[in-house]
Amino acid sequence: MEHTWRWFGPDDPITLGEIRQTDATGIVTALHHVPNGEVWSIEEIEHRKAVIEAAGLRWSVVESVPVHEHIKWGGPERSRAIANYAQTLRNLGAAGLRTVCYNFMPVIDWARTDQRWSLPTGGFAMRFDFIAHAAFDLFILVREGAAADYTADEIARARAFIDAADEDTLTALQNTVLLGLPGSEESYDLESLRAGLALYDGLTAQDLRENLGTFLRGVVPAAEESGVRLAIHPDDPPRPLFGLPRVVSNADDAQWLLDAAPSWANGLTMCVGSYGSVSTNDVVEMTRRFADRIYFAHLRNVTIEQDGKSFFEDGHIDGGSDMVGVIRELLSEEQRRAATGHDAPVIPMRPDHGHFLLDDLSRRTYPGYGLIGRMKGLAQLRGVERALAATMAPV
């Protein structure tokens, strides 16, 4: 596999020089300064690529070209936004970039309730506490109809959470939910979040699926002609939030997506932590089943808590998913691709959502994207890969 590292551009507190020291060779980044829905120019793409290459690295994966909200809910700017997305893919292909990771999560991107949850070892992890999420939804956002999405016991526990929390706790919760996380191009206040959710009133999961299908049919031909592989990222977490449907949450969703636009250019990102945050997803089996259409891997792990809905970011080779099994399947697919003359036999992977450890605690970095925690994760993952590769028989 190609070992890559997510970099948020020139404003990232972690420099390209530091990334080189982690033994990553590829960069995963995006033009975050370009407004959602606008075309990425060839000049901007080439400039970013040159900056990365000057540091002795390679721009391996684009993560991500954001999908405009009008595409997701079917707004009046949908056709223009799809056309712009297709042109961006053409420009990326012209610059030699071949893999684009994106997602189709409406309004709220990936969701957590705690950016620094204390670990027994003294470090910190990110966490999704379902009751804290419910408390925000019911009693801070005060979303109309929210009570229908929770059991009576969950509502009572959410009320107790609010009653027991001090002002700092509630402010931190609100900021974590509203201010966005790395990779999310949107941030909100309470009123703008309510307004964003209102655009999806009455939208069903089937409606959202159809809008995803419309998007795919609009951009996959451009990806094909440009030699670009699209790799959709799953929902994080893979369950409805704030009354919004989610349609990239399990194996059935992944199969539907691949069938909606049959093409080698229409593929998947295997995010072990996202799929693995619900117990019904068997990530090893999913990796095996969809191996030939997996073009990128986020190798992180979570532990699901006793309520079955909360989870925290565990160590990369710890947690509830069989990371060794996933890496074995990815290496087997690489062997198959090499044996059949595939034009992209190597699958890029990156360590995702590392713990905050050591020097991470004293420097300002994005939530989940510290230096030391991810470097530790990358070292662990590389060790697993090396051990497996030494014992696997060639195809």
- Please tell me the distance from the alpha carbon of residue 142 to that of residue 190, in angstroms, as a whole number: 9
**Residue 255, both tokens:** 């199969």
> Hey, what amino acid is at 124?
F
Whole-angstrom Cα distance, residue 241 to residue 109?
A: 10
Helix and strand totals (H; E) in the chain: 14, 12
Distance CA 271, CA 296 (A): 8
C-alpha distance across the termini of the chain, in Å: 16
In this structure, what DSSP letter does residue 38 have? S
Residue of 394, 390, 360, 393 lying closest to 375 (CA atoms): 360
Quick one: tokens of 205?
């999961």
Tell me the CA distances in angstroms from 297 to 248, 350, 374, one per residue in order.
15, 7, 15
3-state secondary structure of 356: strand
Q: Is the dihedral of CA 134, 135, 137, 143 positive or negative?
A: positive
In the chain, the amino acid numbered 105 is: M
State how far the alpha carbon of 310 is from the alpha carbons of 127, 134, 148, 269, 276, in Å: 8, 11, 19, 23, 12
Catalytic machinery residues: 233, 271, 298, 352-353, 369
